[in-house]
Amino acid sequence: MAVTGSVEGRVLPDLAFVGEVAQQLRVDGIRASTKAGSGHPTSSMSAADLIAVLAARHLRYDFADPGNPNNDHLIFSKGHASPLLYALYKACGAITDAELMTYRTFGSRLQGHPTPVIPWVDVATGSLGQGLGVGVGVALAGRYLDKLPFHVWALCGDSEITEGSIWEALDHASHYRLNNLTAIFDINRLGQRGPTELEWDLDAYRRRVEAFGCRAMVIDGHDLQAVDVALSAAREERDAPVVVIARTIKGKGFSEIENKDGWHGRALPADMAERAIAELGGIRDLRMEVQQPGAGQPAISHDGRPAVTLPAYSKGDKVATRKAYGDTLKALGARPDVVALDGEVSNSTHAEEFKLAYPERFFEMYIAEQQLVASTVGISVRGYVAFGSTFAAFFSRAYDFIRMAGVSEVSIRLSGSHAGCEIGADGPSQMALEDIAAMRAVHSSTVLYPSDAVSTAKLVREMAGTRGITYIRTTRGAYPVIYDNAEEFPVGGAKVLRSSSKDVVALIGAGVTLHNCLAAADQLATEGIDARVIDLYSVKPIDVETLRDASRATDGNLVVVEDHYPQGGIGAAVMEALATDDPPHIEHLAVRGLPRSGSPAELMEAAGIDTAAIVSAARRASGATGGR
Amino acid sequence: MAVTGSVEGRVLPDLAFVGEVAQQLRVDGIRASTKAGSGHPTSSMSAADLIAVLAARHLRYDFADPGNPNNDHLIFSKGHASPLLYALYKACGAITDAELMTYRTFGSRLQGHPTPVIPWVDVATGSLGQGLGVGVGVALAGRYLDKLPFHVWALCGDSEITEGSIWEALDHASHYRLNNLTAIFDINRLGQRGPTELEWDLDAYRRRVEAFGCRAMVIDGHDLQAVDVALSAAREERDAPVVVIARTIKGKGFSEIENKDGWHGRALPADMAERAIAELGGIRDLRMEVQQPGAGQPAISHDGRPAVTLPAYSKGDKVATRKAYGDTLKALGARPDVVALDGEVSNSTHAEEFKLAYPERFFEMYIAEQQLVASTVGISVRGYVAFGSTFAAFFSRAYDFIRMAGVSEVSIRLSGSHAGCEIGADGPSQMALEDIAAMRAVHSSTVLYPSDAVSTAKLVREMAGTRGITYIRTTRGAYPVIYDNAEEFPVGGAKVLRSSSKDVVALIGAGVTLHNCLAAADQLATEGIDARVIDLYSVKPIDVETLRDASRATDGNLVVVEDHYPQGGIGAAVMEALATDDPPHIEHLAVRGLPRSGSPAELMEAAGIDTAAIVSAARRASGATGGR
């Protein structure tokens, strides 16, 4: 069938040509994975027609200018279909066949699952159910921030549709009327170890998609004209996100494996590959020219930084660091490229201040932390400085998204409030007691834990300019401001608050325990014990020099106290920093046991992280009770 | 309206009485939270009619015998409605009014959010969107394992319905035809910081619920008769789970706050509380008798342990620890109380072996790790020994569920395969590089990381008898069996594989790096450097004695090497264990930087955790290169 179309005076490839390209994509996916000895060719073959039609006749993308703000976005939520994606890059002339054949080899940018080391990839995928959510974030930016008409296309496998995150994504996409987003569901019926739950019950998918407020288009994913019509309609849709529900065949094009179980994630052995390529019509070397994006400028400029006036606080005033986060976020809102998101708790996290001041740059994510992080990532992909906030404990709901953001090496800012047992009566479900460990172990993360409002303000400003996954941990209760407004707090620094040449022990805390350390130092002074006090506001990266100095000055007697479980947190961070040379003795105070409801004071005492516990530990560390 | 019913010859309380009880529940929720000065009374008031009707006329539960297998299960997925739950306990005679008034105080079992320190609570809730999923697990057990007719009732708030996990739960509930599960959606329209997404669009909820294969019943949640009819129909439903979608009013019963924004999570000040109680008809002291459960025995006995024959392996054979997990799980399947679940990757995790041998005790959870863990928890609530498996990296998707399982202090077994960069060409999205840090920091967790098939088999058997959150990390590749089948591997132990009185350095590894340590020790021996080798298969709890001995014997020269990021993992575990007394010098080898695709050998070399890197580190540590 020869069907042509014309867009802006340019003749699009007809579907006969597109069909040939689709076969080439299949052939090349097989060649690459067979050469690598691993990969997911059958998962790639089912989507080849969809992607060929999309790229040939609908996608608007300039491979020579991946940073063009008008580019469409193509996200392979089914990241394991990387053979298809890379074969597409070759067909579009973006990479050579020689590079395609480096698939999955050490040093190649064509990895097993796509990552942004490839310039045309927004975010790393491969953890199913995430790409669509990030696409929602990109589409939010496109519609509400950039106000550019680019389209976001997300290719999803059917196995990943059971991820709850897919439904958070579609729910938010419809709530925010993201008509600039099209999800393409590649319904090939077969998962990794057998049939999917719904198999080819396309109507079941349709009912779910429609119930979630999206427009569904059910098609045969191998009928090129049907695909073409659907994708045209998808871009023209005005009111809602579109989900193209495409019935496909896993391994389509090679009769020996079509629709057969047992071929997920298996590269074809060489002899089978040869037969497959023959059946697919042989190796081709077609190239297609993808339509160029339109010309437009984002409505918000990323250049030009207006002056930001940070909030100022008075020493001695009691201000919760979560409040200071809110004040500072609002101050940062003077920058037009700063965006905030929150998960239904903005009156607790104080993101509400920003929301009230800059409603057009605030996105409510409701109780859906996976989508909260995914949207933060997607908006950051479009160059915005995006801050996402919720209770620190609830970021654990999005830990796989945070992990993958690290793999993507994107820059996002996360604020987790209500840290530790300090929160009091709400009890352990609301307490973050493992977040420092979890966040330190994320690739490219920065972990900040300020003790007062001034340092919070400075660090939140630093976050805006720090790359990677930046996480700040804030406290529910209000504690005294202890720093001058003029004080600076570089990431990777620490503050020595008490120091003398006679220090016999160093007390190291952060957040609420820093205040306990100060009180403990006061008490120890009355006993003739000089204690250094260090505010370790930057847990990662950590100020090794200050720690080393303290260790030398005190003959290796440190007390580290954290409102966090004993594993992997501030104690571990200090130990890791000083492990190689002269590791100090460390009395490590942390929350041992499961906290309960109670007042902050009762809970910190029960946890052994209050002032009295620090005093006792300091006496032990300094040998005041008769030595170790 | 006086409506009576009779079940098994007993006259149920009529709805007029039930209405009075509902008012009492409101009054008592207000009294308790006002006394505590915190809590969520308005969220409790909206559901009081639903709960009163449920408890008075439908719930079958013996408060004097919480372990009765025939008991219904009542789960407050909206855990913040604890005032309502505790008021119900009083109305059922399970607690006194005096205890109710201890709400949220230090030492009271009536915490801000319910936990199983209360005997009638299955799991801790308070992290929204989790209770329903756990209820699915309990219902799976009831229908497929116990084969008892108890009913699971899960009360959900409307804010939590945006959690993707709710849709994983409903999807699985319908897929498994859990007609013994009823979710009650308390649609009170107001979230924490404003209206919910769907407000009172009950039809939108209905369409979603029905699209997910559940039977929806839309009612006025304050019409007692309508509630009563719906709950009767719910228990009688034969084919599908039921969702009662109840339109309710937040703060129902006190006109000053009914349906008003701004009252979420706020206890009423004393004067308002007084007016509220007056409007609600004053303090009452009604008691109701909840129907007793039926009499029946679970189809599967938890007593009597048939002999389990562990798989045996031959020294030198190369066997992947993930394969040994599968072999051992299957062997454990001889115990009728052992159950397995997996997330669509059972041919990779080798849970498939169990599935094929014991299909009636295996539950496929598809790509939905939150529900995988929730189901594992729910099945464990019913006393089964449940093992859940997926790729270690993907357990990060369920980290909040794992965290809350720790808060619940339930016992579950998790196996995470494909650990570290060792997996090779699939790349970083599939690699767990932060899981040891994350899992160590979970309350009541055990973290195991065996190096060979024999130790894996022994440890998997240990997991079956270990309480808490037990996590085993397995490796993709096949490595030599190094232990005799007769060797034992106690949790909290370690193995010293090479040792002499002349050791100048100790090499500590686990999993794949243990093999690298052995090879390094061999090479160092040729250089005249005696190296102790320790297999740290139990990362938590850790064998402090063995580590201390090694530290003393080598004058504090340790090399710790892990296929994991540098933060919070095995290095930190060793450092934490030895921090207080004579902390050793530690050369810490870990995956620094983001891995890519490649072969296992290439990736371990690039990561600096291969044999050559260990040899270099050992030379440094032992001063062989000229000292520190």
Burial class (CB in 10 A: 0-12, 13-18, 19+), A310: middle
pLDDT mean values, one per 10 residues, chain B (628 residues): 51 96 98 98 98 98 98 98 98 98 98 98 98 98 98 98 98 98 97 95 98 98 98 97 98 97 96 98 97 96 88 98 98 97 97 98 98 98 98 98 98 98 98 98 98 98 98 98 98 98 97 98 97 98 98 96 98 96 94 97 98 97 60
Asked if B217 and B12 touch (Cβ cutoff 8 Å), the reply is: no
Supply the pLDDT for residue A51.
98
Counting one residue from chain A and one from chain B, the pairs whose CB atoms sit within 8 A come to 364
Model-level pTM greater than 0.95? Answer: yes
Determine the number of helices (DSSP H) and then strands (DSSP E) in chain A.
Answer: 22, 21
Across chain A, which distance is largest between two alpha carbons, in Å? Answer: 93
* 3-state secondary structure at position B125: coil
All residues of chain B having their beta carbon less than 8 Å from the beta carbon of residue A108 are 597
Helix orientation angle between B131-140 and B164-175, rounded to the nearest 10 degrees: 20
pLDDT above 70 for A99: yes
What CA–CA distance (Å, rounded) separates B213 from A227? Answer: 28
Residue type, B440: R
pLDDT above 90 for A301: no
What CA–CA distance (Å, rounded) separates B215 from B238? Answer: 10
Alpha carbon A533 to its chain centroid, in Å, reads 35
> What is the band of A302 on the pLDDT scale with cuts at 50, 70, 90?
confident
Q: Quick check: B434 contacting A, CB < 8 Å?
A: yes
pLDDT above 50 for A627: no
Select from B116, B100, B198, B112 the least CA-distant residue to B157. Answer: B198
- Judge: A171–B162 Cβ closer than 8 Å, yes or no: yes
**Among positive and negative, which fits the CA dihedral B20, B26, B29, B32?**
negative
All residues of chain B having their beta carbon less than 8 Å from the beta carbon of residue A112 are 425-427, 429-430, 597
What integer best gives the mean pLDDT of chain A? 96
Select from B49, B22, B29, B74 the least CA-distant residue to B246. Answer: B49
pLDDT above 90 for A5: no
**Which residues of A have a catalytic role annotated?**
369
Q: Which DSSP helix (H) or strand (E) runs through B505?
A: strand B505-509
Q: Quick check: A467 contacting B, CB < 8 Å?
A: no
- The residues pairing with A557 across neighbouring beta strands, listed in sequence order, are A585
pLDDT tens digit string along A420-461? Answer: 999 999 999 999 999 999 999 999 999 999 999 999 999 999
Tokens encoding A345: 């708790």
All residues of chain A having their beta carbon less than 8 Å from the beta carbon of residue B115 are 427-429, 596
The B residues from 496 to 535 touching A (CB cutoff 8 Å) are: none
Chain A: residue whose CA lies nearest to B434: A441
- Judge: B366–A160 Cβ closer than 8 Å, yes or no: no
Tokens encoding B314: 């031959």
* 3-state secondary structure at position A477: coil
> Does the active-site annotation cover B256?
no
All residues of chain A having their beta carbon less than 8 Å from the beta carbon of residue B606 are 106
Strand extents, DSSP E, A439-566: 445-448, 469-473, 478-480, 495-498, 505-509, 531-535, 538-540, 557-561
Select from B400, B539, B404 the least CA-distant residue to B471. Answer: B539
For the segment A570-585, the average pLDDT, to the nearest whole number, is: 94
Supply the pLDDT for residue B303.
82
Supply the pLDDT for residue A4.
46
Interacting residues of B566 by C-beta distance below 8 A, sequence separation 6+: A576, B588, B590, B591, B592
What CA–CA distance (Å, rounded) separates B178 from B144? Answer: 9
Supply the pLDDT for residue B7.
56
B495-498 vs B531-535, strand pairing mode: antiparallel
pLDDT tens digit string along A251-296? Answer: 999 999 999 999 999 999 999 999 999 999 999 999 999 999 999 9
Q: Please report the ipTM that was assigned to this predicted complex.
A: 0.97
Nearest-neighbour CA in chain B from A584: distance (Å): 7
Considering the candidates B160, B163, B352, B369, report the single residue annotated as catalytic: B369
* 3-state secondary structure at position A177: coil
Q: Quick check: A561 contacting B, CB < 8 Å?
A: no
Supply the pLDDT for residue B469.
98
All residues of chain A having their beta carbon less than 8 Å from the beta carbon of residue B602 are 106
String of DSSP letters for A237-271: --SS-EEEEEE--TTTT-TTTTT-TT-TT-PPPHH
Supply the pLDDT for residue A197.
96
Nearest-neighbour CA in chain B from A14: distance (Å): 36
Of B124, B370, B434, the CB nearest to A429: B124
